[in-house]
Amino acid sequence: MMLELDEYIKLLAGLLSVVDPISAIPLFISLTEHRSSSERRYIACVCAISVCAVLLFALAGGKAMLDLFGISIPSFQIAGGIVILLMGISMLKAAHDRARNTPEERAESVDKESIAVVPMAIPLLSGPGAISTVIVYHNLNPSWTHDLLAGCVIATVAVAVLLCLLMAEKIANLLGKTGMNVITRVFGLIILSIAVEFITKGLVAIFPVLGQSA
């Protein structure tokens, strides 16, 4: 049975919150400070395409990868939920999340010729949280229609990433540090709810008695 439309809206809201392109704006500005406008546009395009490619790969091959290592979906739901939970807590504090990228990775990227793929796309935007979200949602209803619509959601998120990076300076000037922190906290609250749902569903699948008692 196909998931209802509200499930796809939930996926869009959830994935957009986990990817959180707003939080990538300060790093993008700092890493491209001495680049020309054309170089910035190129980096933004490559980054958005990379995010889309990584998440589409997770959508198409995530289940096979889990099967390869003998990991059950409920176990992955719980593990992914914990990763997203930690991200959400960091976002509520408007603090840097080491699950996205570490200070050492950011320092190393300054010397790299291109920062579009690493660290911008991976692991900052399409990191463990985003990949976990895509794989879990794929397994809620593994059908080609579900994957097609999920792919459209991923493409929409990639477009949002592209727009945020192309307008990074304007957004930063408009919102300021406080405004971006507020948005990050709202996104953090959303993904905390997603994390709780993932963990709960995983626990119920492993321990059915929990679902009966509810």
Amino acid 2: pLDDT: 47
What is the CB neighbour count within 10 angstroms for residue 115? 23
Owning domain of residue 97: 5-213
CA torsion sign for 40, 159, 99, 62 is negative
Q: How far apart are CA 169 and CA 137, in angstroms?
A: 33
Amino acid 64: pLDDT: 86
Amino acid 165: pLDDT: 96
More confident of the two residues 114 and 162: 162
Amino acid 185: pLDDT: 87
Region 154-180: mean pLDDT is 93
Amino acid 92: pLDDT: 84
Residue range 7-49, pLDDT digits in tens: 778 888 889 999 999 988 988 998 888 888 999 999 999 999 9
- What does each C-alpha distance from 160 to 12, 58, 78, 116, 121 come to in angstroms? 11, 19, 28, 15, 13
Does residue 104 have a pLDDT over 60? no
Does residue 155 have a pLDDT over 70? yes
CATH number at residue 150: 1.20.1250
Residue range 109-129, pLDDT digits in tens: 554 557 889 889 988 899 888
For the chain, how many structural domains are there in total? 1
Q: How far apart are CA 102 and CA 93, in angstroms?
A: 17
Phi, psi of 2 (to 5 degrees): -70, 145
Cβ neighbours for 212, distance < 8 A, ≥ 6 positions apart: none
> 185, exposed or middle or buried, with CB in 10 Å at 0-12, 13-18, 19+?
middle
Amino acid 208: pLDDT: 82
- What does each C-alpha distance from 154 to 56, 58, 131, 148, 178 come to in angstroms? 7, 11, 11, 10, 28
Task: Write out the two tokens for 21.
Answer: 């392109």
